[in-house]
Amino acid sequence: MRLIAENLGGERGGETVFSNIGFALEKSEALIVTGPNGAGKSTLLRVVAGLLPAAGGKVLVEGGGEAFPTVASASHYLGHLNAMKTALSVEENLGFWRAFQGEPALSVEEALEKVALGGLGHLPLGYLSTGQRRRASIAKLLVSRRPVWLLDEPTAGLDKASEERFAGLMRGHLQDGGIVVAATHLPLGIEGAKALQMAVGL
Amino acid sequence: MWSLFLRDIRLSIRAGGGALIGVIFFLAVIVTIPFGVGPDLNLLSRIGPAILWIAALLACLLGLDRLFQADREDGSLDLLVLNSDRHILALTVLMKCLAHWTGSVLPLVVAAPLLGLFMNMEPLGIGATALTLLIGTPAITFIGAAGAAVAVALPRGGLLISVLVLPLTIPVLIFGVSASYGAVANPAPFLQPFLILAALTLFLAVLGPLAAALALRHGTD
């Protein structure tokens, strides 16, 4: 499994945010994207996921097999928003994404245990704090199997213990042959990760 | 795919889901009409099917702006689009439309016979109007989905959707009302306009979600 980006360019509202960005990630490799606000980290992740059209270049996966032929089908995307409904319980939210996304991995209860939300699954998401909602959203990565994790500020709102637990989850994913692309300001605690430094107006 | 249907149904009946807004609006309009038109029972029973249809059409348009906007605001829409290799996006949209119709529009159809009594309609006319509403209102939801997808990024796009969608729903209204009249007024036919209404619903069940999926795919930012 390889994730390859060649000469990627991205634009927002007609303005070029970045251009000529390329990387190639083998399995078990991580890429940490850093840079100041407005450097285009989120745009890069959305272009890689295929949620924004690339202004130039292309992204592809190799060796994904039948289950993961395209980048979109091989990727989890964790954006700034949690993609969970406040009116539904945590279990209902996760259960929905597990059924909808296919390739089921951990059960909802196991995933909640992994993010230390065990016993809170019956509560509506609206009753949880910001950090707990983020952890519930992270549990979404665990209920369906995807080799590529695209993470945009994944640890925003998390406390120290949760950050470490999340680093452990990412290491586990990498050990299982996964690929992580994360945009962040904070160190994520993954050893040996590649780094991509973005600058404003590159 | 059914998980999406179940989720949207659940959301529509939970607090803030807004499933009842359409019914309450429908009720308010129909109850007001006899006061405005006056106590002329013949006139009321003659305009009854048309009033029921117009009120149902407007009530259908009420909740449409939230169809995709709620998903966009919490980031779910990104994941729905991201999974379009597994679930064709047009089918995802179709499923959301069906859930929206079941949650918000079906109650209108159920309430229509009761409100038909307010308009002094005879039982056959009430039955025919309810049947045409049952067959015709999905078409309004399907057209509305295309409008909702175009206006998904606009914070107050509700009125814009209504204006975009209203002209396209006119054929549905015309054939719905003429089939309802056909059931009671003898020389007018019932079956022909009813079949055209059913054909419109089937046609728009394909076209609406396809157009909406296209708009959603190009509307992400």
CA B158 to CA A139: how far, in whole Å? 34
Within a domain: A155: yes
Of residues B18 and B119, more confidently modeled? B119
Tally helices (H) and strands (E) across chain A. Answer: 6, 8
Does residue A154 surpass a pLDDT of 70? yes
pLDDT average, residue stretch A38-67: 89
Q: Give me chain B's average pLDDT, please.
A: 91
Is residue A7 included in any domain, yes or no? yes
How would residue A185 be classed by pLDDT, with cut points 50, 70 and 90? confident
One-letter amino acid of B7: R
From B83's Cα to the closest Cα of chain A, the distance in A is 6
Closest approach of A192 to chain B, Cα-based (Å) = 29
Indicate the domain borders of chain B: 2-219
Task: Establish if A202 belongs to a structural domain.
Answer: no
Exposed/middle/buried for A66, CB within 10 Å: 0-12, 13-18, 19+? exposed
Over residues A47-69, mean pLDDT:
88
ipTM value:
0.91
Count of domains in chain A? 1
Residue type, B209: P
Q: Rounded to a whole number, what is the largest CA-CA distance in chain B?
A: 58
Q: Which of A69, A83, A100 sits opposite B75 (nearest CB)?
A: A83
Nearest to A82 by CA among B11, B5, B73, B3: B73
Find the CB nearest A83 among B3, B16, B79: B79
Query: Which stretches within chain A are classed as H helix?
Result: 41-49, 71-74, 90-101, 108-114, 130-143, 160-175
Which one of A48, A71, A81, A98 makes the best mutation probe of the B interface by having the most chain B beta carbons within 10 Å?
A81
Selected for mutation to probe chain B from A51, A93, A148 (highest B CB count within 10 Å) is: A51
User: What is the per-residue pLDDT for A12?
Assistant: 85
Residue A160 inside a domain? The answer is yes
Question: What 3-state class would DSSP assign to B27?
Answer: helix
Among chain A residues, the shortest Cα distance to B10 is held by A88
CA gap A15, A200 in Å, rounded:
12
Helices (H) and strands (E) in chain B, counts: 10, 0
Place of tokens 């969608």: B165
Cβ-contact B33, B124 below 8 angstroms: no
Residue A23 lies in a domain: yes
Cα R_g (chain A), whole angstroms: 17
What pLDDT is stored for residue B65 in this prediction? 85
Q: CB–CB of B82 and A95 under 8 A?
A: no
Predicted local confidence at residue B80, as pLDDT: 93
Least confident residue range of A46-55, B154-163, B190-199: B154-163
Give CA–CA dist B78/B147, Å, rounded.
19
> What CATH number should be reported for the domain holding residue A191?
3.40.50.300
Question: pLDDT tens digits for B92-105?
Answer: 999 999 999 999 99
pLDDT at A195 (0 to 100) = 87
Name every chain A residue with its beta carbon within 8 A of the beta carbon of B14.
87-88
Please determine, for residue A202, whether its predicted confidence score (pLDDT) is greater than 70. no
Mean pLDDT of chain A: 90
Rounded-to-integer distance, Cα A97 and Cα A84, Å: 9
Which residues make beta-bridge pairs with A180? Answer: A30, A149
Q: Looking at CA atoms only, how far is residue A52 from chain B in angstroms?
A: 6
Q: How far is B96 from chain A (nearest CA, A)?
A: 13
d(CA A5, CA A24): 6
Which chain A residues are closer than 8 Å to B3 by Cβ? 95-96, 99-100
- CA B84 vs. chain centroid, Å, equals 25
Residue A152 is predicted with a pLDDT of: 93
Can you read off the two tokens belonging to residue A41? Answer: 């980290």
Does A46 touch chain B if contact means CB atoms closer than 8 Å?
Answer: yes
Give the domain range for residue A174.
2-197
pLDDT class for A115, splitting at 50, 70, 90?
very high
Reported as type and span, the H/E element at residue B187 is none
Q: Closest by alpha carbon to B132, among B50, B25, B28?
A: B50
Indicate if the pLDDT at residue A96 is higher than 80: yes
Which range (B51-60, B124-133, B159-168) has the least confidence? B159-168
Residues 78-97 of A with CB under 8 A from B: 79-88, 92, 95-97
Higher pLDDT, A190 or B174: B174
Lookup: tokens for A120: 């809170």
User: Beta-carbon neighbour count of residue A84 at 10 Å?
Assistant: 24
CB B11 to CB A88 under 8 A? yes
From A75, A83, A87, residue closest to B15, measured CB to CB: A87
Phi then psi for residue A20, to 5 deg, are: 55, 45
Share above pLDDT 70 across residues of chain B, in percent, rounded to a whole number? 98
| CA B109 to the chain's CA centroid | 10
Alpha helices in chain B (DSSP H): 2-13, 19-37, 41-62, 66-73, 76-82, 89-100, 106-118, 123-150, 158-184, 191-219
Q: How confident is the model at residue B17 (pLDDT cuts 50, 70, 90)?
A: low
Name the residue in chain B with its Cα closest to that of A11: B221
Say what the pLDDT of residue A145 is: 92
pLDDT (mean) for B98-121: 92
Check A92 against B86: CB less than 8 A apart.
no
The pLDDT value recorded for residue A187 is 79
C-alpha of A48 from chain center = 11
Could you tell me which residue, B38 or B16, shows the higher pLDDT?
B38
Instruction: Inform me whether the C-beta atom of residue B35 falls under 8 Å from chain A C-beta atoms.
Output: no
**Interval A86-99 mean pLDDT:** 94
More confident residue, A176 or B19: A176
Strands A2-12 and A15-25, by their bridges, are: antiparallel
Q: Which segment of A10-14, A59-63, B13-17, B147-151 scores lowest on mean pLDDT?
A: B13-17
